Amino acid sequence: MNNITITPTSSKKQTEAFAEVIKIGIDMHENKYVLVRQVDNQSPQSPHQFSPAKFLVWVQKKRSQAGRVVTCYEAGCFGYVLHRKLEAMGIENLVVRPRNWDEYGKRVKTDKRDAREICSHLDRYLAGNKKAPWCEGSVAAEGVISEWHSVKLHF
């Protein structure tokens, strides 16, 4: 008989797992961010809710747990302040055009569902699906920012 020795893995080694990419879909509101995270090719995790300040602390920790962290949120009234903060932290961020994420007409709109859909579409986009409907009209935030700077507002 073959003698096989099995040594238990310490919990420290398990917590030091290093992901290749963490994808985060964010549904933004004035005083809360609802987000869904997907690590590598695993299933998306349950939605979480953070205040804007706590989110930045949380996402910085995720940066140390993966080779690449990519976030995504819809363009809207909050502008690109979050985009600039994330980019300064070394986190890739995509800002996409707002859309109705209820593709099947269920008439159920929740922040959790929106965050899950944004994360799911982000995963497909990063996997190479550049022709997905959500990409048409998507904005690379820097391009839009430079366009907005060139527009003069008249009141």
Predicted local confidence at residue 153, as pLDDT: 42
pLDDT tens-digit readout, 110-126: 778 888 888 988 998 88
pLDDT tens-digit readout, 43-77: 888 999 999 999 999 999 998 899 999 999 988 88
Closest CA to 86 of 66, 63, 112: 63
Closest CA to 27 of 57, 49, 54, 42: 49
What residues are paired with 70 via a beta bridge? Answer: 23, 92
**High-pLDDT (> 70) share of the chain, %:** 65
Predicted local confidence at residue 140, as pLDDT: 46
What residues are paired with 25 via a beta bridge? Answer: 36, 72
Q: CB 81: neighbour CB atoms within 10 A?
A: 9
Task: Map out the domains of the chain with their CATH numbers.
Answer: 18-150 (3.30.420)
For 122, the enclosing helix (H) or strand (E) is: helix 111-126
pLDDT tens-digit readout, 84-94: 999 999 999 98
89 or 132, greater pLDDT:
89
